[in-house]
Amino acid sequence: MIRLISILAGLFFTVALGWALILGVVGLAHDGLPTSAEKKFHEHPKELALASDGMFGKFDRQQLQRGFQVYKEVCANCHAIKLVAFRDLKALGYNEDEVKAVAKGYKVPAYNPGMGEMKTHDGTMADHFPPVVYAGQGSPPDLSLITKARHGGAAYVYSLLTGYQNPPADLPKENQPGAGLYYNPYFANLNIAMPKPLTSDGQVSYKDGTKATVDQMAQDVSAFLVWTAEPKLEKRHQTGWAVLGFLLFATILAYMAYRNVWADKKGH
């Protein structure tokens, strides 16, 4: 009986492993392996330290506001952040009037059920950032969740923005950027359809006096995109600590109860 059970268990694990292998191979065949040149020239994201990192991480609201400014003045020409509502911006430290003013600057599409037609109206607190009409090459993804969707998160976005460079001399011909593509070793296939968006220092003027170098703007907008992807990050950290505290308390209590219950039954 025991024998049969162990054989069955062994069989189960063998089948499970075999199945995982088949899935893996099919997945690879489907996605394709990076070519050897892609592997050689591709670079891993640079280091980026943000205030929101780690278990104690909190957002630097000044930086989020700067990042939003970069998004609004540069990235918003091509990228939407459709999961963000205008009223969410209050969490960055803007007051009601400032947020209303931002919302008003956007035209939001709205379906008019009475007339059966699409119209637009000025954005209000309750609206989300509207879709962006883009006519260039490639398709700019919505950026709301991009720091969650890409390996490396904010560091990847930062590296991508600051990673444009001339193709190296020994880059094989088939990896050279074609028309409308730009060499960027942080992008998976080395050539990206996004023209370098942050091109010169001072491209935006920060209200808080921070120098708007390309590097600074790239860091700030990456920090902002961490917030769009997880606006409740601070809450999550807080809850985590509260739960840990409670567990610790419960453990101590249980230990004390154990000591108490066994106090006169042991030690003789």
- Sites of contact with ligand HEC (CB under 6 A): 70, 74-75, 77-79, 136, 138, 140-141, 143, 146, 150, 157, 160-161, 192-195, 197-198, 221
- Shortest distance, position 222 Cβ to ligand HEC, whole Å: 7
- Shortest distance, position 108 Cβ to ligand HEC, whole Å: 21
* Whether the Cβ atoms of residue 127 and residue 84 lie closer than 8 Å to each other: no
> Residue 190 and residue 180: Cα distance in Å, rounded?
13
- Shortest distance, position 121 Cβ to ligand HEC, whole Å: 25
CB-CB neighbours of 220 under 10 Å: 27
Encoded amino acid at 113, one letter: P
Per the listing, tokens 């009409």 go with 133
Residues in CB range of 7: below 8 A, 6 or more apart: none
> Residue 137 and residue 4: Cα distance in Å, rounded?
62
Distances in Å between the Cα of 92 and the Cα atoms of 61, 66, 86, 131 are: 5, 10, 11, 22
Residue 94 vs 222, nearer CB to ligand HEC: 222
Residue 100 vs 162, nearer CB to ligand HEC: 162
* Whether the Cβ atoms of residue 143 and residue 75 lie closer than 8 Å to each other: yes
Distances in Å between the Cα of 110 and the Cα atoms of 24, 89, 113, 114 are: 44, 21, 9, 12
Residue 13 vs 134, nearer CB to ligand HEC: 134
* Whether the Cβ atoms of residue 67 and residue 223 lie closer than 8 Å to each other: yes
- Shortest distance, position 98 Cβ to ligand HEC, whole Å: 21
> Residue 32 and residue 98: Cα distance in Å, rounded?
48
- Shortest distance, position 156 Cβ to ligand HEC, whole Å: 7
Distances in Å between the Cα of 61 and the Cα atoms of 34, 58, 71, 196 are: 39, 9, 15, 26
The structure tokens listed for 212 are 């708007």
Residue 80 vs 221, nearer CB to ligand HEC: 221
Residue 99 vs 143, nearer CB to ligand HEC: 143
Residue 98 vs 142, nearer CB to ligand HEC: 142
- Shortest distance, position 198 Cβ to ligand HEC, whole Å: 5
- Shortest distance, position 77 Cβ to ligand HEC, whole Å: 5
Residue 195 vs 231, nearer CB to ligand HEC: 195
